[in-house]
Structure 1
Amino acid sequence: MRFSNFLFPESREPESDARVIAECIAEAQLCDALGVEVLWLAEHHFDGNCAYVDPTTFAAAVLAATTRLKVGFAVAQVSLHHPVRLAEQIALLDNLGQGRLIVGLGRGTAYNVYEYQGYGIDWQEAQARYEEAEAIMLKAWNSPSGFEHKGKFWDLKAPRLRPACYTTPHPVVLRAASSEEGALHLARRGLPFMMNVQSLEATRHRLSAYRAELAASGHDEATIARCMDESWVWRNVVVAETDAEAARIGIPAFEAMQQHRREMREKVYAEQGIRMVQEVVPPARVQLDHALIHGSPATVAARMAEIDRTGVGGVICSFRLGPMSAEATRESIRLFMTRVAPEFQGGHAAAAE
C-alpha cells in the first residue's frame, strides 16, 4: 500500500493567506524529501477552506519546487472550468513536471452552493457539465488534427491542442466517486477511483462491491488488479510520539476544521434557504471515529493495516487539519514517513501477513 499527502490547508482570514500558501510549498518540499509518493491538491473557492484555491496554478509552483514528488488533483472541479482551457493547463503542467502529474477529475463540490453561484453556474447542471467537459478534454488530448464538438454547454471548433502532453497520450486520469453507485459505474468502465472519507466498514464493502463489479463486467484479473492498485481512499491522519499527544493535537483541530467548513454553508442556508444535501445522519467524513486516524506510530500503523487488508492501492492522508500549525503538521508527516510507512514496504503491512 502506498501513501500520499492531501494538502488541504485552511486559512481563516485573508491576512493569513500568504503565510499559509508559503507553508504549503515548504510542506511539499518536506514530502519530496521524505519519499511521499503523491501530493494531492484540492479546489475550493471563497471560504478559506483551501488557501491556494486553484490546483492548476498551485501545481506549477509545487512542481517547480520539487524533483520527485508526483502532484495530483483531488479533485479539479471540472464543472467550474472551460474544458479546453483546463486541458491546455494540464498539458502545460504535464510538461513542467515531465510526467509527474495525476489528473483527478470531479463534478465539483456536493455541498457548497456558493462555489457554483460565484461562478454563475447552476449547481444542478454540475454533473452534466462535468461529463461533457471530461469528454471534451479527452478529445482535445487525443486529436492531433484538432476536433469539433457540439453539446449542451459547448459548441467548439478547435485546432490541435498546444502544447502537446508530455505523457502519451495524456497524464493519468482518475475520477472521484463519492457514492457506491459512482464507484460501480467506474468499475463497469474498468477505471480506478478515489473514495471520499468513509468508515472502515463502508470502505471494505465498497471496495468488495467494486472488485465484484469489475469481474461481472468482464474485466480480466490483470485489469482488476490494476484498478485496485490505482484506487485511493482518504483519511485524516495525525501522528505523535504517544496516543495522548496525538489526541491532544488532532481532535481539537479536526473538530475546528469541520466547524469552519460548515460555517459558510450554514450562512448561505440562513440567507437563501438553499442546501445542496440534506443529511439526516452525519456522514462519516465528519465523525471523529471514522474520519480521523490519530495516535503513536504503532497505533496509526495498526489502523493503516486494517485499510491495507481491503486491497486498495493507496491512502490519501490529510495531515494538516484546520488550525493545526505548520510545525505540528511537519512532525506528524515526519513520524508517519519514518515510522509508519516503512511497515508497508513491499506492499503489505507486517500486521497483515
Structure 2
Amino acid sequence: MRLGIFLLAARFPGQDDAAALIRTVDAAVAAERAGFDDVWLAEHHFMSYGVVPSATVMAGHLLAATGQIDVGTAVSVLSTQHPVALAEQAAMLSLLSGGRFRLGVGRGGPWRDLEVFGTGLDRYEHGFAESLDLLLAWLHSDQLAWAGEAFQFREVPVVPRALVPPPVTVACTSRDTETLAAERGLPMLLGMHIGPDEKAAAVARHGLPDVPHVSAHVAHVADTREEAVATLMREMPRWLGPGLDGYVAVDDRPRPSRDPVAYAERMCELHPVGSPEYCAESLVATVERTGIRHLILLVEAAGSRKATLENIARLGAEVLPKVRAALPPQ
C-alpha cells in the first residue's frame, strides 16, 4: 500500500507565482514529515491552474529538499518535449536521489503549448506511442539509434545510464491509451475526474491488474463531512475557475467551459472529503473496489498555504494509519 500527495502548484487568488512554488516545496517537506510515501507534481504552461512548467526541475529541487520520500511527475507531457531529453533528466534524477524518482508521462492535450514549443498538433494526435517507446528504449539501453516517423538519429551512447531505470507510469484518460500502456506492461495513472467504478473498469480493460496502477483523489479532512465539504465548496471554485480558463486549444477548436462550482461538487461526491473516519473509509473502499493500492491525494483544494499544510498533517496523523491498518501488506 502506497499513499502519496499530488500537488498542482496552483496560484491561489491574491498570490504570486513565487508563493505558489514555495508552498509546493513546503507541502512536499510536510508530506515527508507526515509519513506519506511519495509526492507527485503536475506540469502546466501558461495558466494559473499550475505554475510548474517543468515537473522534472521541481522534482529535482524536492529530491534535494527531502531525504526519504519518493518524488514523481504527474505528469511530464511527452507531446511538448523530446523523449530523449526527458529520459536523460529522469535517469539523472534517479541516480542523484538513490532511486527516489518516479516518472509519470502523459499525452497532454491539444493546447497552445504545441504551438509555442513547436511540436505541433500531429505529435499530440499521432505521436504519443512513438514518443513513449523511444523514452522507454532510452531508459533501458546502453546505446541507441532510432528511425521512426517523428524521430530519427544514428547510434549514440546513453549517458547518464541508470542501471535500475526509474519506474514509468502512464496517465490514461482514453481506452486507446489504456491499451498502449497495457501492451508495454506499464501501470496507469487514473485521474480525479472518474470514480471507483470507472477506475475498476479501466483496470479490467487494461488486463494487467497486478501492475502498480496509481489512483488520484481530492482529499480534505475536517472534523465533520459537512465542514469539509463546505470548505471546499467555498474555496475551491475561487482558484479553479481562473485556472481552468488557461486551457486554450492550439487550433481554436471549441472547448466546453467547465463550471467550477459543479466541478468542486463532483470532487466532493467522488473523493475523501470529510472526517478522518469518512476519508479513511472512502480510500479503503476505493482500494477494495479497484484493486489499486497506490493512491495520491490532492491536498491543496482549500486554497491556502495554511490549509494545505494543516490538511497534510491531519491526513498523516488521522487518516493514513487507519487506511494502512485496514489494508495490510499483501
TM-score, L = length of structure 1: 0.83
Partner of 2:109: 109
Separation (CA, whole Å) in 2 of partners of 1:280 and 1:329: 24
Pick from 140, 147, 150 the counterpart of residue 153 of structure 1.
150
- Give the aligned residue type for 2:322: E
Moved more, 30-39 or 181-190: 181-190
Deviation string for 1:292-335 (max 9, x for gaps)?
431111111121121021211121110112x7111111111111
User: Does the residue aligned with 1:153 lie in a helix, a strand or coil?
Assistant: coil
- What is aligned with 2:299? 319
Q: Are the structure 2 counterparts of residues 84 and 317 from structure 1 closer, same or farther at C-alpha, using a change threshold of 3 Å? A: same
By how many angstroms is 1:281 displaced?
12
What is the rounded CA distance, in whole Å, between the counterparts of 1:251 and 1:301 in structure 2? 21
- Letter of the structure 2 residue corresponding to residue 126 of structure 1: Y
1:1-353 matches, within 5 Å, as 1-11=1-11, 16-109=16-109, 113-144=111-142, 146-165=143-162, 167-168=163-164, 170-197=165-192, 198-210=194-206, 213-214=207-208, 224-225=209-210, 227=211, 230-265=212-247, 268=248, 273-275=252-254, 287-310=266-289, 311-321=291-301, 324-345=303-324, 348=327
User: Partner amino acid for 1:339?
Assistant: E
**Sequence identity percentage:** 24
> Does the C-alpha gap of structure 1 residues 69 and 175 become closer, same or farther in structure 2, counting only changes over 3 Å?
same
* Structure 1: tracts of 5 or more residues without a match: 215-223
- Does 297-306 or 284-293 show the bigger shift? 284-293
Q: RMSD of aligned C-alpha atoms?
A: 2.8
Check whether the contact 2:69–2:100 (CA below 8 A) recurs between aligned residues: yes
User: Residues of 2 paired with 1:73 and 1:123: CA distance?
Assistant: 23
Q: 1:114 to 1:291 in 2, by over 3 A?
A: farther
Q: 1:121 to 1:69 in 2, by over 3 A?
A: same
Question: Do 1:238 and 1:293's aligned partners in 2 also have CA atoms closer than 8 Å?
Answer: yes
Instruction: Judge conservation of contact 1:285–1:291 (CA < 8 Å) in 2.
Output: no
Q: 1:243 to 1:65 in 2, by over 3 A?
A: same
SS at match of 2:246: helix
User: What secondary structure does 1:21 align onto?
Assistant: helix
Moved more, 191-200 or 67-76: 191-200
TM-score (structure 2 length as normaliser): 0.88
* 2-structure distance, mates of 1:174, 1:246: 31
Change (3 A) 1:28 1:156: same
- Report the count of equivalent residues: 324
Distance 2:88 2:203 in 1: 33
| Cα deviation, residue 238, structure 1 | 0.8
Change (3 A) 1:96 1:13: farther
Please, which runs of 5 or more residues in structure 2 have no aligned partner?
A: none
